[in-house]
Amino acid sequence: MELLPIGVVSARSGTAPSALRYYEEQGLLPAATRTAGGARRYPRTVLRRLAVIRAARNVGLSLPEIRAALAGLPEDRPPSARDWERLSSEWRDRLDEQISALTELRDGLSSCIGCGCLSLGRCALFNPGDAAAAEGPGARRLPPALRRPVPR
Ligand code: FES
C-alpha cells in the first residue's frame, strides 16, 4: 500500500496538517504509520475519506455524525463503490431534510422567522412583543434543521 507524507496529503486534499492530525485524533482517519523519525505517513485512501469529510462538513454534518458513518467503512481494504453508496444513502434523509429547510428559507425569508428582531412590519402580527422568545433561543420559526447548533 502506498503511503504518503502528511504534507502531500495536505496539499492534495486541501486540508491543513493540523486538521489532519485532529481528524486522526478524533477517529475520522486511520492512525498514521510513523517513520523511524516519527513522521506521519497515511495510505492514499485517506484522500477519499477527506473528500467525504469535507463534503459532509459543507452540508452541515457534525464530526460525531461523520465519525459514526466512517466507522462503518472497512479498515482492511479501501472502501468500494458500494461502501460509499451505503454511506451516502445513510445521509440521504438528513440531506433531504436540509434541502427542504433551505427551500423553505429561500422562499420565506421575507416573513417573520421569530428571531426577536421585531424589525419587519409583519413581526407585530406574527411575533408580537417577541412572544417567540418563550419558545427558546434562536429564530424559532425557522425549520428545525436550520436551528441545529453549528458543527465545529
Ligand atoms: S423577523 Fe425577527 S422577530 Fe420577526
**93-147 pLDDT, tens digit each:** 888 888 888 888 888 777 788 888 888 777 888 888 899 999 988 888 888 878 7
Ligand 1 pocket residue status of 115, Cβ below 6 Å: yes
Give 152 Cα–ligand 1 centroid separation in angstroms: 26
Which long-range contacts link 104-111 to residues 24+ away (Cβ below 8 Å)? 104/143, 105/142, 105/143, 105/146
| pTM value surpassing 0.75 | no
Ligand 1 pocket residue status of 114, Cβ below 6 Å: yes
| Domains, in order of start, for the chain | 1-79 (1.10.1660.10), 93-152 (no CATH)
Atom of ligand 1 nearest to the CA of 113: 1
The amino acid at 114: G
Calpha distance 27→141 (Å, rounded): 36
